[in-house]
Amino acid sequence: MVATIYDTPDAALDGIEDGVRIMFGGFVTSGSPGNLIRALCRRGTKQITGIANNIGFGDVLDELCEGGQLRGMIATFAIRASSTQTSRFEVQYRRGDVALELVPQGTFVERIRAGGAGLGGVLTRTGLGTPVAEGKRTLDVEGVTYLLETPLHADVAFLRAHRADRLGNLEYRGAQRNFNMMMATAADLVIAEVDEIVEAGAIDPERVGTPAVFVDRVVRCDPVVVRR
């Protein structure tokens, strides 16, 4: 199916409702869909469950807390162990306004991969003997004990890439790939913001990071750059 091209990030969010579960690509500043996140702030959607690597580390995502739009986060980085800086997310977490599930980063991306690839979960040794393992099943495979981690799926994924073609193929630059590539596979509605939209064929097939089949909506906008 051909991706739909939208003129503005606000228009690209058409149909997103309260209670939505959204994956946000990006690792701090790289590959972060800042325009779509700010459009979500303007839209005022409430009771959002966010799935993102980080929140409150100089990222745009923390702005969702200003309007109390988050119900909770599944993240790897949320509250720095030894820092005096306090994010909006941290303030709301301490008040009990938002929930937080912390996931080791490697497990986080593999759970998303499982969610997008039709797999029933991931077996990993990461997290064994730590609070991450509490309440989870373990399995022994060939004499090694693993933790069973379940798939992650979302209603919507927001991505940031360098270029898209009119079919929805995405090309990344630098360290933009991070979680964007797997999140593209693991949500019902996938919206990508890019620097440039080009004709089909303008992106060398060898350079396609996310094949068009995964991408539903595309919007062109300059990246939001947040200085830390």
> For other proteins, which stretch binds (CB under 8 A), given 1-9, 36-44, 63-71, 123-131?
123-131
CA 132 to each of CA 3, 38, 169: distance values in angstroms, whole numbers, following the listed order: 38, 31, 36
Near other proteins in 181-220, by CB under 8 A: 181-182, 209
Residues 6+ apart with CB under 8 A from 23: 51, 52, 112, 152, 154, 156, 157, 158, 179, 183, 186, 187
Q: Which of 12, 29, 51, 69 binds other proteins (CB under 8 A)?
A: 29
Residue by residue, DSSP assigns 155-193 as EEEEEEEEEEETT--EE--GGG-TTHHHHTTSEEEEEEE
Residue 146's H or E segment, with its range, is strand 144-149
> For other proteins, which stretch binds (CB under 8 A), given 4-12, 39-47, 121-129, 214-222?
121-129
Is 126 a binder of other proteins (CB under 8 A)?
Answer: yes
Is 127 a binder of other proteins (CB under 8 A)?
Answer: yes
Near other proteins in 79-118, by CB under 8 A: 79-82, 90, 93-94, 100, 102-110, 113
Nearer Cβ to other proteins, position 199 or 222? 222
The span from the CA of 207 to the CA of 106, in Å, is: 24
Instruction: Note whether 116 and 153 are within 8 A (CB).
Output: yes
Q: Which of 40, 172, 191, 203 binds other proteins (CB under 8 A)?
A: 172
Is 30 a binder of other proteins (CB under 8 A)?
Answer: yes
Residue 41's H or E segment, with its range, is helix 34-43
Residues that bind other proteins (CB under 8 A): 27-32, 53, 57-58, 76-82, 90, 93-94, 100, 102-110, 113, 124-132, 172-182, 209, 223, 225, 227-228
